[in-house]
Amino acid sequence: MIQQNGLNLSRRIRRTPYTSNVENHGVTGFSVVNHTLLPKSFQNTVEEDYLHLQENVQIWDVGCQRQVEIKGKDATKLIELITPRSVENMNIGKCLYVPLTDTNGGIINDPILTKIAEEHYYLSVADSDVLLWARGLSIGYKLNVRIREPDVWPLAVQGPKANLVLSKIFGDKINSLKKFNFDWFPIEGTKQIIARTGYSRNGGFEIYLSRPELGDSLWKKIWKAGESHNIRPGCPNIIDRVEAGLLSYGNEMTVENTPLECNMEKFIDIEKEHDYIGKKALLRQKKYGVRRRIKGVIFGGPKIPTITRPLQLFDTGKGKIIGQLTSGAYSPRFKKNIGVGMIDIGYWEEDKEIEVKVDETKVCQGLIKNLPLVG
Amino acid sequence: MIQQNGLNLSRRIRRTPYTSNVENHGVTGFSVVNHTLLPKSFQNTVEEDYLHLQENVQIWDVGCQRQVEIKGKDATKLIELITPRSVENMNIGKCLYVPLTDTNGGIINDPILTKIAEEHYYLSVADSDVLLWARGLSIGYKLNVRIREPDVWPLAVQGPKANLVLSKIFGDKINSLKKFNFDWFPIEGTKQIIARTGYSRNGGFEIYLSRPELGDSLWKKIWKAGESHNIRPGCPNIIDRVEAGLLSYGNEMTVENTPLECNMEKFIDIEKEHDYIGKKALLRQKKYGVRRRIKGVIFGGPKIPTITRPLQLFDTGKGKIIGQLTSGAYSPRFKKNIGVGMIDIGYWEEDKEIEVKVDETKVCQGLIKNLPLVG
């Protein structure tokens, strides 16, 4: 049988401790993130998975969210150097979204920073080798840090019933965990980090399993606890993610884009006291303003399939390209197509009419929307 | 239709200027290298493609071999810093295989270095973000260099008839190009680099196209020139690669392995005068010797499919794990299965008998072989 989009496997594209489980559950497609398999579809449609996620609970193999562990006397110094976000007041047990920038202010990655202990952090990274970036900097600056990729494999439990499932296993302490906080929980005689985080707006948890040999039994234990709550295997859902305005590094933004273009004002402290890479560029951009910005779009026409290649946007009736949608799909909530992408200055106004070129022959009418589309 | 190994596409997994062409030619599977699509299979079997490559010519979309351009007063200084190979005597117009190492001597990447001009280089990288590594180092060391990923997309023409095809387009100058040298050739009014290099032992060329908008017409021009030579679309062939002992970063070796474990003695100058990252570790390892080393294996039993997960190797009859095969397939040349992988000390002797566990139930007898299996 000939399929255009097969994925040819090799050791270079790493399996996770959960890959066998997602295969048993009938995974149909993967993506590759950080040289690691990310399940992207199962037997259901994206729409069915979306509807299920809104009311139930799902288990996601997000082992591809590799960790960059930074430990040592200069760990905080290095973190302050690589992000425009201040970590001065960060407490142990907290998780923080920290865009990393290069000299031009371009985004290198947008990880979740976890503070394990004093001078001990994890960066849970999107799809670029932050390990090499951090190591290169630490060698050049002669910082006293140890940087490595620990054998830690995140497993996400997402959806409004995630706490019901995990509290069966870990007790009521799960319920007291606040958003963007983590704590330590026992798993088969070991202590493991569980954070109240996740790449969905429905709430949930991420288990930072540091013992890959326990991956299979952990998966099965969660599955069993979830059966009465209609648990399903899942993955970051494109409809949910776009509605929530959750960005994907490499899709909505690349190293060519700055945090200001990506609406990350509230996640950065451009003027922070510490010197950081990109400070000069971001101060300048803050002063003069950005020329493009990520916005949402809701548009009509027939249901589109999940966007796999950017859709161009046009000034209505004028044929001028004003941006592109890099992620999107049909939303059952809006009963319209939705998307997110970088839009030129002059077209940011809520409900501004624009056109979306959905394929070679069809253009649909759409409206610019602020993100998130749903709070 | 349900397929376990589908690849779900998005902008994050970049298309190349040639992707439409490989789709038109009926590509059936991709891999992902450097966040970019690498075609890995077409309508034929790996064995058919192998046999074709030995006697004909193929066109390969290797746009995923991304370039890291290093330019500026300190460019050579940075290159000397990141590789144990000396580039002191490297001339403009040369290509050099340069393993890059980290502090422990572990391999960061194994690119081809191309010297474009004085203090101006390309690194044509395997699957890791050397761009971030080089930039991190250059910022820390305050080097006067500009490092970027240029809009350059390699296209390979490989096989014994590659020169016949390319000389039709570029004239006799193609034939005078020596192995691991490059020169400039005209393409539609532009000047482009063509190197006599490639990831095959059958000879060939790589065109470093710096004008992606010319990709489609370049592909079609080569295809037309190749039709009378039975040209086919192809990709790095696993059988050919293993026979040649050509290693794949991420498969045979990772950052956990050093150049000495990978038989790269002739590609490095451990004692070179310039200080480089990993020098101390490699000097030590040279003194005390390595405990494991990449070797070939030829083994019997039924034809195996292309190896997608490491096969464990055992001491014959003793059940002790002594290494693993990370790439391999059935070789029509040897009429046996072949593979390559990291083998423990004590088992390196030519024709040493070992066992290969080809699946959960079957163990086959094999012999250790020096690489390449075919010169």
Q: Tens-digit pLDDT profile for chain B (375 aa)?
A: 345 689 999 999 999 999 999 999 999 999 999 999 999 999 999 999 999 999 999 999 999 999 999 999 999 999 999 999 999 999 999 999 999 999 999 999 999 999 999 999 999 999 999 999 999 999 999 999 999 999 999 999 999 999 999 999 999 999 999 999 999 999 999 999 999 999 999 999 999 999 999 999 999 999 999 999 999 999 999 999 999 999 999 999 999 999 999 999 999 999 999 999 999 999 999 999 999 999 999 999 999 999 999 999 999 988 899 999 999 999 999 999 999 999 999 999 999 999 999 999 999 999 999 999 987
- Count CB-CB contacts under 10 A for residue A77: 17
Q: Is the pLDDT assigned to residue A48 strictly greater than 50?
A: yes
Q: How far is CA A89 from the centre of its chain?
A: 24
- CB A295 within 8 Å of CB A341: yes
Q: CA–CA distance from B172 to each of B55, B141, B161, B165, B221 (Å)?
A: 21, 45, 14, 11, 17
In this predicted model, what pLDDT tens digit does every residue of A303-324 receive, in sequence order? 999 999 999 999 998 889 999 9
CA of A227, closest CA in chain B: separation in Å?
24
Q: Do A41 and B248 touch (CB under 8 A)?
A: no
- What SS3 state is found at B335? coil
Provide the chain B residues 34-93 that lie in CB contact (below 8 A) with chain A: 35, 40-41, 43
- What SS3 state is found at B140? helix
Of A1, A136, A142, the CB nearest to B136: A136
- What SS3 state is found at B229? helix
Q: Do A28 and B3 touch (CB under 8 A)?
A: yes
Residue B15 touches partner A, C-beta closer than 8 Å = yes
The predicted structure's pLDDT at residue A291:
98
Cα–Cα distance, B251 to A184 (Å, whole number): 35
Q: Is the pLDDT assigned to residue A217 strictly greater than 50?
A: yes
B307 residue type, one letter: I
CA of B34, closest CA in chain A: separation in Å?
9
| Nearest in space to A295 (alpha carbons), one of A354, A219, A227, A225 | A354
CA of B164, closest CA in chain A: separation in Å?
31
- Its sign, for the CA torsion B172, B175, B181, B185, is positive
Residue B161 burial by Cβ neighbours in a 10 Å radius (0-12, 13-18, 19+): buried
CATH C-level class of A291-375:
mainly beta
In this predicted model, what pLDDT tens digit does every residue of A275-301 receive, in sequence order? 999 999 999 999 999 999 999 999 999
Residue B31 touches partner A, C-beta closer than 8 Å = yes
Cα–Cα distance, B261 to B82 (Å, whole number): 18
| Boundaries of every domain in chain A | 19-63+151-242, 67-148, 291-375
> CB pairs under 8 A, 24+ apart, for B37-44?
B37/B13, B37/B61, B37/B63, B37/B64, B38/B62, B38/B64, B38/B235, B39/B233, B39/B235, B40/A8, B40/B235, B41/A6, B41/A8, B41/B235, B42/B232, B42/B233, B42/B234, B42/B235, B43/A2, B44/B232
CATH 3.30.70.1400 fits B67-148, yes or no: yes
Q: Is the pLDDT assigned to residue A96 strictly greater than 80?
A: yes
Residue A140 touches partner B, C-beta closer than 8 Å = yes
- Residue among B7, B109, B130 with most chain A CBs within 10 A, to mutate: B7
Cα–Cα distance, B164 to B226 (Å, whole number): 8
| Nearest in space to B342 (alpha carbons), one of B325, B321, B359, B365 | B325
Of B12, B140, B141, the CB nearest to A251: B12
- Per-residue pLDDT band for A2 (boundaries 50, 70, 90) equals very low
Of B6, B31, B103, the CB nearest to A13: B31
What pairs with residue B54 in β-bridges? Answer: none
Residue B6 touches partner A, C-beta closer than 8 Å = yes
Q: Do A6 and B28 touch (CB under 8 A)?
A: yes
In this predicted model, what pLDDT tens digit does every residue of A147-202 receive, in sequence order? 999 999 999 999 999 999 999 999 999 999 999 999 999 999 999 999 999 999 99
Tell me which CATH code domain A19-63+151-242 carries.
3.30.1360.120
Q: Do A8 and B130 touch (CB under 8 A)?
A: no
pTM score, two decimals? 0.97
Of B5, B129, B307, the CB nearest to A132: B129
* Angle at CA of residue B82, ends B182 and A153, nearest 5°: 110
Cα–Cα distance, B231 to B52 (Å, whole number): 9
Provide the chain A residues 242-261 that lie in CB contact (below 8 A) with chain B: 248-251
CA of A134, closest CA in chain B: separation in Å?
7
Q: Do B11 and A309 touch (CB under 8 A)?
A: yes
| Nearest in space to B85 (alpha carbons), one of B101, B103, B69 | B101
B140 residue type, one letter: G
B128 residue type, one letter: S
Q: Do B23 and A4 touch (CB under 8 A)?
A: yes
Q: Do B132 and A128 touch (CB under 8 A)?
A: yes
Q: Is the pLDDT assigned to residue A65 strictly greater than 50?
A: yes
CB contacts < 8 Å between A and B, how many?
186
Query: What residues of chain B lie within 8 A of the CB of A277, using their CB?
Result: 139
B101 — alpha (psi -120 to 50), left (phi > 0) or beta?
Answer: beta
| Nearest in space to A238 (alpha carbons), one of A31, A9, A95 | A31
Cα–Cα distance, B70 to B116 (Å, whole number): 10
CATH C-level class of B19-63+151-241:
alpha beta
| Nearest in space to A297 (alpha carbons), one of A256, A261, A343, A252 | A343
In this predicted model, what pLDDT tens digit does every residue of A220-264 receive, in sequence order? 999 999 999 999 999 999 999 999 999 999 999 999 999 999 999
CA of A66, closest CA in chain B: separation in Å?
14
- Per-residue pLDDT band for A1 (boundaries 50, 70, 90) equals very low
Q: CA–CA distance from B24 to each of B9, B153, B165, B338 (Å)?
A: 17, 19, 21, 32
- What SS3 state is found at B115? strand
The predicted structure's pLDDT at residue B4:
65
Q: What is the arithmetic mean of pLDDT over A57-82?
A: 98
Residue B61 burial by Cβ neighbours in a 10 Å radius (0-12, 13-18, 19+): buried
The predicted structure's pLDDT at residue A102:
98
Cα–Cα distance, A313 to A323 (Å, whole number): 5
Does the interface predicted TM-score (ipTM) exceed 0.85?
A: yes
- Residue among B3, B11, B235 with most chain A CBs within 10 A, to mutate: B11
| Nearest in space to B326 (alpha carbons), one of B336, B314, B344, B313 | B313
Contacting residues for B288 by C-beta, under 8 A, at least 6 apart: none
Query: What residues of chain A lie within 8 A of the CB of B140, using their CB?
Result: 136-142
What pairs with residue A368 in β-bridges? Answer: A297
User: Chain A residue closest to B15 (CA)?
Assistant: A309
Provide the chain B residues 279-338 that lie in CB contact (below 8 A) with chain A: 306-310, 326-327
Q: Do B108 and A307 touch (CB under 8 A)?
A: no
- Count CB-CB contacts under 10 A for residue A170: 21
CA of B250, closest CA in chain A: separation in Å?
4
- CB A342 within 8 Å of CB A326: yes
Contacting residues for B91 by C-beta, under 8 A, at least 6 apart: B115
Longest Cα separation, chain B: 65
B360 residue type, one letter: E
The predicted structure's pLDDT at residue A4:
64
> CB pairs under 8 A, 24+ apart, for A252-257?
A252/A294, A252/A326, A252/A327, A252/A340, A252/A341, A252/A342, A253/A107, A253/A110, A253/A294, A253/A342, A254/A106, A254/A107, A255/A102, A255/A106, A255/A107, A255/A108, A256/A106, A257/A106, A257/A107, A257/A342
User: Chain A residue closest to B126 (CA)?
Assistant: A12
Q: What is the CA radius of gyration of chain A?
A: 21
